[in-house]
Copies of this chain bind each other. A is one copy, B any other.
Amino acid sequence: MADLKDVKKVVLAYSGGLDTSIILKWLQSELRAEVVTFTADLGQGDELEPARKKAEMMGAKSVYVEDLREEFIRDFVFPMFRANALYEGVYLLGTSIARPLISKRLVEIAAEEGADAIAHGATGKGNDQVRFELSAYALNPDIRVIAPWRDWTLKSRTDLIEFAEKHQIPIPKDKRGEAPFSVDANMLHSSSEGKVLEDPAEEPPEDVYQRTLSPEAAPDEATIVEIEFEKGDPVALNGKSMSPATLFQALNDYGRDNGIGRIDLVENRFVGMKSRGVYETPGGTILIAAHRAIESITLDRGAAHLKDELMPRYAELIYNGFWFSPEREMLQAAIDHSQADVEGRVRLKLYKGNVIVIGRESKKSLYSDALVTFEDDRGAYDQKDAAGFIRLNALRLRTLAARKRG
């Protein structure tokens, strides 16, 4: 920790909760550093004013509380959904995509405040430390990053509680004992990990779920929604134009009510181990289905297949924390280029966990009745062309087969 001794001013990603409050105090007491707190509203659903007051009360030098919901959805979530990004086939990257934005503001505030370091509350075992720090270094090569969970000597819950008591940090009753699992949340998703979830052979208890009804508890009647897209992004819901965050929140509400977006997975962390998580992404689960549907009629096959091939890499980059990297930006340039004509309307039926596409239409549709019909197509397609198409595609296979026969 010797190398932290000369830190004078730190911008801390501060939630207002017990852990980051302890960090705040630790930075003040152990490093003798001034602390600036930064609390972002990314739609996690917590109230922010208590965090502001607590930070002020604990002697934060400056207190930043910001509503970043629109920026989060518009500049991070929507670009990612243009790619249909899924990590390991199932995870919609809800935690991963929030970290770069938080780091960006930490680094910007550090510059404004003349701070020489930033700090975060992620542990040394997870992906979030990597995402915070790679983002920060990519934006300011000289920034110092303090990750107290890797550095301090507090080893157990008991140590933490003792430290809190010693420093008069208020401890909510339910935080005295071990939490049964650990939660992260933003507008895109809630994730739960650890403790009762550590055995992947065991079904998660129902009380793990934070923001969705279970499919069983959802209504017996389906809900129909219509999403309108422009340039690959949703712009209106049921015919009503909305800002990105407003629209996304409405999708979340629909998803929650209809039991949509729960997954229970074992994923591979960038730091090398497997972990088990339970995620809820109600609006995102609706959105990815709708986006694929509007692409299905407006995106050319060549573009669509290239996107599908690039997607796993793109998702991996975001998962691993490389949002601010040249290769993610290159892939984004390719993806965004493909979205120019991805526009139109998708109708979906939401029913007890299911997202069912029931209609898509677009002025930019590439779907052609005339081409595809079993009926007379009046010359749109000459079936005899298929013979030549097949024969030339087969030519190399026939050459191989002739060799095999010898």
A contact set with B: CB distance below 8 Å = 84, 88-90, 123-125, 129-130, 133-134, 137-142, 147, 149-150, 155-156, 182, 194-195, 198-203, 215-216, 222, 262, 264-268, 271-276, 292-293, 296-297, 300-309, 311-313, 316, 321-322, 324-327, 329-331, 333-338, 341, 347, 349, 351-354, 356-361, 364-369, 371-374, 376, 381-403, 405
Report the copy number of this chain in the oligomer.
4
Contact A392 B398 (CB under 8 A): no
Given A130-B386, A215-B352, A392-B385, CB of A398 within 8 Å of CB of B141:
yes
* A-B complex: 5 closest residue pairs judged by Cβ atoms: A388-B388, A124-B383, A272-B395, A385-B388, A268-B301
Given A267-B296, A398-B137, CB of A361 within 8 Å of CB of B392:
no
Contact A381 B266 (CB under 8 A): no
Once the chains are docked, how many angstroms separate the CA of A358 from the CA of B194? 16
What chain B residues lie within 8 Å of A376 (beta carbons)? Answer: 155-156
Contact B302 A274 (CB under 8 A): no
Q: Which of B137, B182, B311, B357 contacts A264 (CB 8 A)?
A: B357
Given A200-B297, A308-B89, CB of A354 within 8 Å of CB of B357:
no
What chain B residues lie within 8 Å of A365 (beta carbons)? Answer: 200
What chain B residues lie within 8 Å of A264 (beta carbons)? Answer: 356-358
Q: Which of B89, B325, B360 contacts A200 (CB 8 A)?
A: B360
Q: Which of B125, B222, B306, B359 contacts A372 (CB 8 A)?
A: B125
Once the chains are docked, how many angstroms separate the CA of A258 from the CA of B369? 33
Once the chains are docked, how many angstroms separate the CA of A349 from the CA of B400? 30
What chain B residues lie within 8 Å of A134 (beta carbons)? Answer: 390, 393-394, 397
What chain B residues lie within 8 Å of A215 (beta carbons)? Answer: 351-352, 354, 356
Q: What residue of chain B has the Cβ atom nearest to residue A341's Cβ? A: B403
State the Cβ distance, A194 to closest chain B Cβ, in Å: 5
Contact A400 B366 (CB under 8 A): yes
What chain B residues lie within 8 Å of A156 (beta carbons)? Answer: 376
State the Cβ distance, A405 to closest chain B Cβ, in Å: 7
State the Cβ distance, A96 to closest chain B Cβ, in Å: 15
Known: A195-B374, A273-B399. 5 other contacts (CB 8 A): A88-B296, A142-B402, A272-B371, A309-B312, A333-B334
Contact A354 B356 (CB under 8 A): no
Q: What residue of chain B has the Cβ atom nearest to residue A391's Cβ? A: B385
Contact A266 B296 (CB under 8 A): yes
State the Cβ distance, A143 to closest chain B Cβ, in Å: 9
State the Cβ distance, A231 to closest chain B Cβ, in Å: 14
What chain B residues lie within 8 Å of A271 (beta carbons)? Answer: 386, 389, 392, 395
Q: Which of B138, B216, B329, B331 contacts A394 (CB 8 A)?
A: B138
Contact A304 B268 (CB under 8 A): yes
| A-B pairs with beta carbons under 8 Å apart, 12 shown | A147-B387, A194-B373, A200-B367, A268-B300, A271-B386, A272-B394, A272-B399, A274-B368, A352-B352, A352-B353, A386-B388, A389-B389
